[in-house]
Copies of this chain bind each other. A is one copy, B any other.
Amino acid sequence: MNVVLIAVVSLDGRITRPGEPGPGFASPGDQRWFREALRGFDCCVMGRKTFDAIPPGGPEAATRLRVVMTRSAAGRTAVAGVEFSAAAPAEIVAGLRARGFHRCALLGGGQIYAQFLDAGLVDAMWLTLEPVVLGGGTPLADGIVLGANFTLTESRRLSHDTLLLHYQRAGRPLMPLPPIPA
């Protein structure tokens, strides 16, 4: 199974504005691309805060399994296609692989990204780089990450000022970027 970290980041590596949940600084081009990119995945993993910040019916909600990492699943209302899990990243990935899933989108937030990167579980990163500096907010990787070196496979423009960067972990299977929607 392929695990792809998908994120939109500011030039100073933030995935949220200070004091604001969700990627409110994402450009329209990134939002279009993100919807398109998600189609190729049969499952995704995110943290509880990221899950709570997603409006119901958004592209993340579509037809793929959503695994939501949380310290405690107690008190959570059951939602179709959503599984709450307190397991470690390696266990979650092994479990999804054993169940026959092929492509997993890792959707954040910063602590989840850091845990998966530090555990060496991220095969590729699709990073949208917006032309803005925020100076605060959640960092892309919120927690020390060791040995997360990547190869730059591709760089495209989503719009004049927004870059889409494809980084790949050496030795992992290459998953091509989906086309950029017009």
Contacts and interface: CB of A to CB of B under 8 A. Distances in A.
A136 B140 contact: no
Report the copy number of this chain in the oligomer.
2
A29 interface: no
Contact of A149 (B131, B145, B149, B151): B131
Contacts of A131: 149-152, 167
Interface in A125-143: 125, 127, 129, 131-136, 139-143
A77 to B, nearest CB: 33
Nearest to A5: B133
A42 interface: no
Contact of A139 (B12, B151, B165): B12
A114 B143 contact: no
B13 A14 contact: yes
Given A13-B140, A18-B144, A117-B133, 15 more contacts: A9-B13, A12-B145, A13-B139, A131-B149, A131-B152, A132-B148, A133-B150, A134-B148, A135-B142, A135-B143, A135-B144, A135-B145, A152-B157, A152-B161, A152-B163
9 contacts: A12-B13, A114-B135, A133-B140, A133-B145, A135-B139, A139-B139, A152-B157, A155-B163, A163-B165
B161 A151 contact: yes
Nearest to A146: B135
A104 B11 CA distance: 21
